[in-house]
């Protein structure tokens, strides 16, 4: 059996929005979440991203997706790496673009949008929305409160169908 990541994720759910929202104006933008291509991955500036996304995209057991706004599909707002575990999805990595982090971020809702997408993928595969991930210890309560995630044991957390449906319906209206 393949060993899964033991490094806990440390993304912050800044706000559960209807899509992504401009942090200063409150304007909401429609988004798309689609697979990241190898060419796009090669164009990512290493200084702009915390994680090695080339490693993720080259791992054939994982799928990497990008979040963009509908009106500007060339600018990547965030990335997520998922693995199909045959009865649930596992979230290996999730990251907002550098300009969507910290107190001066441009958009709110990027991590929530990506987690909702992962739950949607799980639902579409017949896994009822189940999504598992490992969290940094100090963020377990944050994910319980913001995502209604359940703490399993150790660093492992998961999102159950009820919470998944709530997230999916918040971000994906169709």
User: Residue 159 is part of which domain span?
Assistant: 20-171
Q: What is the pLDDT of residues 154-163, one digit of tens each?
A: 999 999 999 9
Q: Tell me the whole-structure pTM to 2 decimals.
A: 0.91
Residue 50: CATH number of its domain: 3.40.630.30
Average pLDDT rounded to a whole number, residues 112-122? 97
If one counts the domains in the chain, the total is: 1
Percent of the chain with pLDDT over 70: 90
In a domain? residue 10: no
Any domain includes 6: no
Is the CB of residue 61 less than 8 Å from the CB of residue 2? Answer: yes
pLDDT tens, position by position, 10-31: 666 666 667 899 999 999 999 9
């Amino acid at each position: 059996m393949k060993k899964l990541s033991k490094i806990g994720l440390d993304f912050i759910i800044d706000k559960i929005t209807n899509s992504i929202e401009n942090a200063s104006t409150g304007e909401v933008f429609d988004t798309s979440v689609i697979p990241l291509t190898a060419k796009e991955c090669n164009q990512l500036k290493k200084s702009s991203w915390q994680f090695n996304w080339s490693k993720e995209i080259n791992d054939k057991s994982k799928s990497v997706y990008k979040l963009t706004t509908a009106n500007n599909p060339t600018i990547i707002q965030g990335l997520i790496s998922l693995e199909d575990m045959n009865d649930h999805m596992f979230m290996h990595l999730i990251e907002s673009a550098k300009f969507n982090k910290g107190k001066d971020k441009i958009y709110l809702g990027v991590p929530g949008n990506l987690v909702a997408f992962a739950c949607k993928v799980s639902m579409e595969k017949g896994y009822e929305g189940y999504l598992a991930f490992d969290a940094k210890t100090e963020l377990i309560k944050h994910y319980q409160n913001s995502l209604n995630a359940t703490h399993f044991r150790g660093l492992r957390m998961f999102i159950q169908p009820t919470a998944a449906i709530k997230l999916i319906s918040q971000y994906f209206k169709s």
